[in-house]
Amino acid sequence: MIGIGLEELGVEEFVQGKFFDGELYIDTKKQCYKDMQYNRLSLFAVLRQLFTKLARDRYSESKKLGGDLKGDGLQNGGTLVVEKGGKVLLNFVQTNVAEHVEPSDVLKALGISPPEQGASADQGAAGAAAAGAAAAGAAN
């Protein structure tokens, strides 16, 4: 697994927090984002999207993880899952600041059954989210 970020800001905390177990790269020129057509939002579009129910729900969920709102919040990202040999298994392109790939979609693309509901489901979802955020793709 690899993850591609767009800036150095927050990388150290991300690594220390063990949010991802794979290789991390920083694309400060955002070339891979451009190549993968991960668009940048306008400030107006972000402000409009922040008032949606989805954005409010995601913000509430994110408080559990900690962190801050620093950095480039206008750059959309995505998740690309590619099998050995180059076949694309999943290509999720973020179109809204509050969107993210569902962990179950990443697991399904990898041919893994999601864990049953309960204590282990949280661990499975967190692992899938980390895989989804960076399985040969770019994460925001």
Give the domain range for residue 21. Answer: 1-36
pLDDT tens readout for residues 31-48: 998 998 888 877 776 667
Tally the domains of the chain.
1
**Under 8 Å between Cβ of 80 and 88:** yes
Mean residue pLDDT across the chain: 77
pLDDT tens readout for residues 60-76: 766 666 666 677 767 88
21 located within any domain: yes
27 located within any domain: yes
60 located within any domain: no
Task: List 75's β-bridge partners, or say none.
Answer: 40
Whether the pLDDT of residue 135 is over 50: the answer is no
Q: What is the DSSP letter of 76?
A: -
- Give the whole-angstrom CA distance, residue 67 versus residue 120: 24
2 located within any domain: yes
This prediction has a pTM of 0.62
- Give the whole-angstrom CA distance, residue 78 versus residue 95: 9
